[in-house]
Structure formats: C-alpha cells, structure tokens
Structure 1
Amino acid sequence: MARRALILVEGTRSNGLLYVKAAQRLGLYPITLSADPAQYDYLAAERLEAIRVDTDNLDALIQECSRLRATYDIAGITSAEEKVYAAVGKLCRHFDLPGPNPASVERCCDKFVQRQLLAQAGVPIPAYCLATNATDVESSAAEIGLPVILKPAVGVGSCGVRLCRNVDELAEHTTYLLGGKHIWRSSPRILVEEFVQGPQYIPHLMGSEVIGISAADFWPLPHFVYRGTTFPALLTAEEHERIVEVSLSCLRALDLGWGPMCIELRWTKRGPVVIEVNPRLGGGPQPVQLAYGVDLVTEHMKLAIGEEWNLRRRHSHVAAVRSLVPDRDGILDWIDGDRRAAVVPGVAEVKFFVKPNTPIVRKGDYRDSLGYVIAASPSHAQTEAILQHAVELIDWSITPFPIPGRTGTICAGGVGTT
C-alpha cells in the first residue's frame, strides 16, 4: 500500500514548519516542492524531503506531482505561501483534489483587480488609482490628495509599500519602484492609494466563517512593518458585527470561501474600510490556537485532504505577538535574553529568524523582523504585561557597516530596541 503524502508548494519562515508538523500529526508524509529548498532552514533541521522545482512553472509542478504519484498516494496539495496559492488551486483541479478556486485567488492577489471587484460590490475601500509610470503616479496622487500610499499591484509582505507624505517622498519612492531596485513579479504597475487612518484589525476566516478578529499595530511610518497583534481584539458588539458583515461581503465580491483567509482593514469615522483581502492564513496562526484552542493549520490541512474539520472553540484566552525589529543596519553581533524570556510564565514561544554574525539590511517590510515573542493569558492586560516583560529581557547588538572613505571600524554600541 502506497504511503499517503501531502505536497507542500514552497513554505514560509514562520508557518512552514507548522504545516509540516500538522501533516505528520495527521499521519501524512510531507514533501516540499520549492525553487530553493535551502531558504527554509527547518527542512534540513528536521531532515524533511524537499524537491527543487520551478514553482512558477505550472507544467513543471504537474510533472513533479505526477512523478511522485507513482510512488505515493497523494492525499492533498497545499501551501502556506500566497504567491503560489493560485498554482496550488490549479494543481488540485488537475489531480482532482480539494483546493481553492485558482481564478478567485488570482483576482484577489492582483490588488487593483481586487479593489475593482470590492468597489463594484459596494465594499468600503480607500480611494485608489493605477499607475504605470512616474507621470501617472504624480497625477494620481494629485487627484487623491497627499499623503498617499504607493504599493506594487502584485506583492506580499508590504514589500515596496510606503507612505508618501509630500512630493519629494512621492518622487523618491516612485524612482525606487520603477528604477530597477524593486523586484517585480509581473509588469510594473503601482497602486496609488488614499492613506486611511484608524486602528487596524484583521479578521481571520476559514471557509465562510469568521473565527475571530485581531488588533494590529505598526512600527513607525513611512513603512508598514507590523509591531504586533493581539487576538481577540477589544471591540464593542456593534464594531464586531460590522467587521464580520464587511468581511463576508469581501468573500462574496471576490468569490472566495474555501480555506483560510485574512482581511486587513481600518476602523475609521465611516466604520470599517478594507485595505486588503489575503487568500491565506494571517501572519502566524499561533495566537488563534492559544486564545481559542483552534489549530488553523491542522484544520486547513484536513480541508486539503477532504476530511471533516472543526473550528469549535475550546477555551477563551487572549494571545499577543510582538515582532522584534532592529533600529539600524549592520552586522548582528549577539542576541541575549531569549532563553530567559522563553521561560517567563505565559510566554508560548520566542523565536529568532537570524543568528549572530548575520548582515542586517532593513527593507521596510516583513523581512525586517529578527523574530518574535508570543504570550497568552486569560486577559488582555495580563497578556500585555507578560509580553512586555519578556521583550524587555531580550537584547541584541548591531555593529554598523563601515562608512566608505573612513578608515578603521565603526563600532555600534546600541542594543536593539523592541
């Protein structure tokens, strides 16, 4: 009898291992297909099978999965990575396996098309224009009114996203996006978007059910690097109801409703305004599991292999995540206190993505995070206190890169701020 396998297309540094472990708990043999398996350190650390394949090439993926079917009983194909999720949907349809609607995912991943569909359905969104050159950007910003946000029409993790508060910042970031520094996955198209202000919330959905809503905040502008999230958010009954209502409107407008999704929105004077709909799990799924006892990764896996899933809450706690972000570029000399922080009562996990002697070059997106701390307790106040205490125990030092033209080495003293 052939061994049951689960195919994972690509992975992520935060969720990839969670998917592998969930597959193993369900009695499946995980196999990762990746253009560069070495980028996922957990694959080597856990001695997991990984196959190098061009994951942007659907024919290559079909060929590799067909080859694997000769040896394994492929129970399902899925991914934690948004940029390959449409391809996952196409693979699932080719092999007659449960999966997302690839056309819906593709429409959702194009932020311009997504906004058009949301606007047509009457979902509240920011004012926006599409630009393909500097002249378009300038005229669009003038039409919307500064400040505006510039972002690639296709992209993830806030890569290339920046708030432009004046004409100089607008010109600078336009040059960055169109001048060859930003890596485009498709033809260059820039979304020029109204800067909507207000508290940020993230509804987490599975299928057509809103599981709960996180509160989120960012490190200082002009970039949008998450500082942390708290689940569930402190909301009034009316606020919760309106956010759920607009979330379900997004699903109908985009023809979504299979598997995990998260929606980024801001609460404004006119209520919830949708910033983005993402056809994937939101950030790290651990807070939902810590707070409600619902393992979204495992439930997604069950859905992908056609088994019955269960989103029933087992308890009601409060979980929070704090991202650890450096305040300078340079060489990471050392990290200290992470082990002390990990044993603080209520701390669920302390994780670093980098090791000492690693060059640190901030990019203004998700890659700036050195790691994170997660804590949980029965109340918001207690969880925040636990998290703050743990974060204060963690230090690091970064030596700035030498300045060209100067002799000797410039030493930093500064300990990283959290």
Structure 2
Amino acid sequence: MTARIALLAGPTTYRGEAFLEAAQKLDLVVLRVVDTPAALASGARGNWLELDFAAQQDAIAALRRRHAQEPLAAVVALDDSATMLAAQVAAALGLPHNDPNAALAARNKWVMREALARGGVPVPTYRQVALDEDPAPAALEIGFPVVVKPITLSGSRGVIRANDAAELRAAFARAREIVRAAGYGPDEGVLLL
C-alpha cells in the first residue's frame, strides 16, 4: 500500500516542487495543505486542503477528519510558518513528530533565546519589545549598536542594525511595517540585541 503524507506550506512557498518531486520518486501520495485565510479557504479538493493555519485547533480537527478517511503516515512542514502546526497535527494523530515545544523554539526567536539561556548557552543580551512600545529604553539598556529582529519572521525579513537612536526609530518603524504586512497582530514582538 502506498503511504500518504501531508505537506503543510504557506501559499507562496518555493519549496513545494522539490518536495513533490521527491515524494513522487518515493511513490508517496501527497495531501497538499495550504495556509489560506479562513474567509478564502475552500476546504478540501482532491489532494488539496486549504486551511487557516492561524486557527490551529480548527486545522488540527480538519486534518484529524481527513486522517480518519485517508490515514496519513507523516505530516511535514515545508516552511517555517507551518512547523508548529505540523508538530501539533502529527502529535494529535500519533505520528512521529518534533516536540511542539521544540517547534515553537525553532520558530520563535524569543523562546529560543530563553531556552538557550536557561541551558547555559551564551547568548547576546536581548530584550523583547512589543510593536506598540518604544524601543529606546531597551536599546539604552543593551547599548548601541543594536539589531532589530522580528520574533517569528524568517529569511532575515525586518532584521536591521541601528547604530544610534535615530536609526533605531527608523529601523523599528520599518520592522513594524514588515511584521504587520506579514499578517501579524499587535501581540507580535521584536527582539533587540
């Protein structure tokens, strides 16, 4: 019997083709699960499933239902944005998976730095700053230059060095724009280090 896997990805992934080619070589059936805002998601169409990854419990429930109809052998994240959901879905289905806490740490720079520091791993001085906060007090505590780094974005998006207070204001404003354009709300933060 051919194994079926779920590949979870954001709508703009560039990795899908390589994974699909590899799956074909391994004779795997692929369920493509794409992150789609709830208002646009059309649910299931053949081997496609559109889910809102932000509504994690709903997405897990949808994949449980699909798994009950067509059992999955694995759940794989193609992108950074899908790592948490893939770990949670695989855990819920009793499949091999990354620990959801490890997936969170891999995705969230604040959580990772906290875990490294607790484990005795040297990390640079850092502070978390909410998008609607003034970053100046944290920067003064750390000392210039600082690096502004969105907590969950990948690909160096929004990572900007600031050598002084004026550059910090500009860098923080730019990082805030990038974070909001990526669809994150006010609870998303930025690291200063």
Q: TM-score range by the shorter chain?
A: 0.7 to 0.9
Match for 1:141: what amino acid? A
Change in CA separation of 1:150 and 1:103 when aligned onto 2, cut-off 3 Å: same
In structure 2, the residue matched to 1:29 is 29
Extract structure 1 runs of 4+ deviating beyond 6 A.
none
Q: Give the match for residue 51 of structure 1.
A: 49
The corresponding residue for 1:19 is 19
Q: One-letter code of the match for 1:33?
A: V
Q: What's the TM-score, normalizing by structure 1?
A: 0.39
Aligned length: 180
Secondary structure at the aligned position of 2:170 is classed as helix
Cα deviation code 1:69-125 (max 9, x no counterpart): 354332111112122211111111111111110122113322122112212222122
Larger radius of gyration: 1
User: How far apart, in 1, do the equivalents of 2:178 and 2:8 lie?
Assistant: 27
More RCO (CA 8 Å, sep 6+): 2
Aligned mate of 1:74, from 72, 75, 94: 72
Give the whole-Å Cα distance in 2 for the aligned partners of 1:62 and 1:122. 35
TM-score, normalised relative to structure 2: 0.80
Q: State the alpha-carbon separation in 2 of the partners of residues 61 and 139 from structure 1.
A: 39
Unaligned runs of 5+ in 1: 37-47, 194-418
Q: 1:124 to 1:70 in 2, by over 3 A?
A: closer
- Residues 130 and 35 (structure 1), Cα distance of their counterparts in 2 relative to 1, 3 Å cut: closer
2:128 aligned partner, one-letter code = L
Q: Residue 10 of structure 1 corresponds to which residue in structure 2?
A: 9
The answer to whether the Cα contact below 8 Å between 1:10 and 1:55 also exists between their aligned partners in 2 is: no
The 8 Å contact of residues 4 and 72 in structure 1, kept in 2 or not, is answered as no
Q: Which has the higher strand share?
A: 1
Q: Deviations over 1:331-386 (max 9, x none)?
A: xxxxxxxxxxxxxxxxxxxxxxxxxxxxxxxxxxxxxxxxxxxxxxxxxxxxxxxx
Distance 1:56 1:182 in 2: 15
Task: Describe the superposition over 1:208-258 as per-residue Cα deviations: whole angstroms up to 9, x where unpaired.
Answer: xxxxxxxxxxxxxxxxxxxxxxxxxxxxxxxxxxxxxxxxxxxxxxxxxxx
Report if aligned partners of 2:9, 2:81 keep a CA contact under 8 Å in 1.
no
Q: Contact between 1:33 and 1:55, CA under 8 Å: does it hold in 2?
A: no
* Structure with the higher helix share, 1 or 2: 2
Aligned-partner Cα distance in 1 for 2:146–2:80 = 25
SS of the aligned residue for 2:179 comes to: coil
- Render the CA deviation track for 1:106-154: whole Å, top value 9, x for unaligned: 133221221122122221222211222543x112212222111001222
Contact 1:15 1:80 in 2 (8 A): yes
* SS of corresponding position for 2:147: strand
Alignment of 1:44-193 (within 5 A): 49-132=47-130, 133-135=132-134, 137-178=135-176, 182-183=179-180, 185-186=184-185, 187-193=187-193
How far is 1:29 from its partner? 0.8
- On the 8 A contact 2:159/2:175 being kept in 1, the answer is no
Distance 1:62 1:145 in 2: 43
Letter in 2 for 1:192: L
Using the alignment, how far apart are the partners of 1:89 and 1:134 within structure 2?
A: 32
Q: Which residue of 1 aligns with 2:39?
A: none
Quick one: distance in 1 between partners of 2:88 and 2:178? 31
